[in-house]
Structure 1
C-alpha cells in the first residue's frame, strides 16, 4: 500500500481545499483554478503534465518502474452558479458562485494522491485528470475529443463523488449502472402573433404547450430499481410576452429527461419527439439539447478492485441496491473503453445536500479518499518503490 500522508501533508491539503473553495469558477471558465492545480502538480515532479485539455483540463503522468497498465484517477475543476450562504472563514469570495458540490475537496484529495506518488508504482503509469466542465456534462467529451487524449487514454479509470446523508468515509459501490443518464430538452415553438381581440388571426403555441406539458410529464415510468426507469421533469415554461393586448407567437418549454441506461434514454427521446410531432400543427418547432450526460456504467472488475481495497483498509462498504438519480459525465470515459468505476463516498449523515447553498465538503474525508485511491493504484500497479 502506498504510504499514508503525514499530518503535515493533510494540513496542507486542507488549506488548499479552503483556497479552492474561496475562488470557484464555473464550467468552461476554470482558467485560474487550472493554473493553481498545474502549479501544485509541478511542485510534485510528475513525469509529464498536459494543460488545456478539452478547455482548461489538466493531467499529470507518474510512470512506474516497469511496463504495465495505465490507471486514471479523475476529479473535477468546476463550481456552481449558486450563491453560498455560510459563515465559513473560507466562504466563496465570488458573488453568485460556489463550490457547493465538493469539487474543491475532490481536487485536494487527488493532489494528495500526487503527493503519495513521489514513490512511483512498481509498474504501469498513473494519470491524474483534473477535468473541466463536469457540471454541464461537456467536460469529459471535450477531453476525449482533444487530440492529445490518445497519449493519456487509460486501461482503468476511477473517480468518486462525496455523498451527503451517508456515514462519513463509507465506500459506496455498485457494479453496472451507477449514475443515471440525463439531458435537458429545450423546445422552442414559433407561431404568429395577433391582437388579443382576434386570436384566430394568429397561430398561438398555447394549445401545443398545454398538451406537451401534460404528455411529456407523463412519460416517466417505473422506479429507480427497474432497468426501464424513466423520469421526465418539466423545469421551465414561457408563453408570449407579459402583455394583455397580444395573442402570443412564441413559447418555450424545458424538460429534463432521466433514465437508468443509455438505451432507455434513446427510447425516451423518441417518445418525447413523437409527442412533439403530434402537437406541432402549423407551428414551427425546434428542439435543442443541453447538459447531455451518459449513464455511468461501473465495470465489475474495477468495482471489485475498489471493494477489495476498501475491505483491506477496514472501511465500511455500502453495496448500493440502486443507482444514483443524479448524473455524472465520468460515464464517457467508460464508454471510451476503460474499465471504469465510480465510488460514492459518504460525507456525513447530517451534511447539507449537494448544490445546497450551505453545503461544504468535509475536510475529514481527505485522508480517507487518499488512502482508498492509493490502495487502488497499489493493487493494480504493485507496491511503490523510491
Structure 2
C-alpha cells in the first residue's frame, strides 16, 4: 500500500483574520482525500502559541468563533535535516513527535500571509503550500506591491503612502490629488480590515486613526468606480488562470463580513459576464501580476474594470480564503477543477518546489 502524505494543516494565527482561518481549515480538511493524505491539525492561538488539535477541537473552534486556550500542551517545530518533525509537550515533557511531508499554512493576514511563517518553514526544511518569503511579503504590503506593479507598467489606482511618523496631509490636499471620495486602508492587512471610504473632513481624521490601529503604514487611495473582478492563479513556473468572477457589493464596498461570513452582503457572479477578449486580457494580466510579485502556488488577483474598459489591479492575495463563499475555490470549480482536486494540486506544487530548492547548492565546493 502506498504511504499516505502526512499533511500539516496550520491555522488560526495572531491576525485579525484568525476566525476566517479556522473556517478555511475546516473546509480544506473536509475536502481532503483521506486515502491519500493523513492530516495533522496544528493551531496557533491569538497569543502566538502552537498546539496539536483534533477534528473535534477544530469544529468547536469554528462554532464557538474562538480558538481554544489550551495552554498546557504546546507544539514546536524541530528543524532537523531531512527530518521534518513537529513535537508536542505537556508540562515540559515530550508527548508526541511526527514527521511531516508538507504543511498547508491557511493563515490569513499578518504573521501568516506576510512571509513570516514561510521563513520559519523554509528554515525548518518543510515543504509548504503557497508563495515563498519574498512573494508573500510583497503581496501583503500594498505600498510595495503597487510600486512594483507601477515599475512593471501594470496599472493601479493612484495612492499616497503615509507612515505613523509623518505629518498627516490636510484633507483638501488629499482631495486635490486623489479626488473625493477616497479610501484609507492599512498597508498590511487583508479582508478589508481597517478600511474606510472617506467623503469629508470628519471621516478622514477618524479613518486615519482607525487605519493606524492595524499598521504603522497606511494608504490613501483613489476611489475607482467600476466592476470588481477577481481571477485565480495556480502554478509555480507553468501558470493557469481561472475564469474571472465578479463581486457586486450590496454596501459601500466589499467588506470583511461579505467576503467570508455573510453571502447576502454581496452578489457573486461566477463566472463574470465578460466578452471573450476581456476574459483573456484579465487572465493574462493576473498571471503577469503573479510573476511580477514572485508568487508561487496560488493567488487571487483582484481588479477594477472601469466604464472605459480600463483594467486596474487592486491587490493580490497569496493565501486566499477557502470558506464556503470564498472566490478562489469557486473560480476554480467553475473552471473545471473541483475543491478536492485544487487542494491536491496545491500540495503537489509545494512538494515539487521543495524538491527543486533542495538542489540549490549552499556550500562552496559542494
Q: What's the TM-score, normalizing by structure 2?
A: 0.29
* Larger RCO: 1 or 2 (CA < 8 Å, sep 6+): 1
TM-score normalised by structure 1 residue count: 0.28
Tell me which structure has the larger Cα radius of gyration.
1
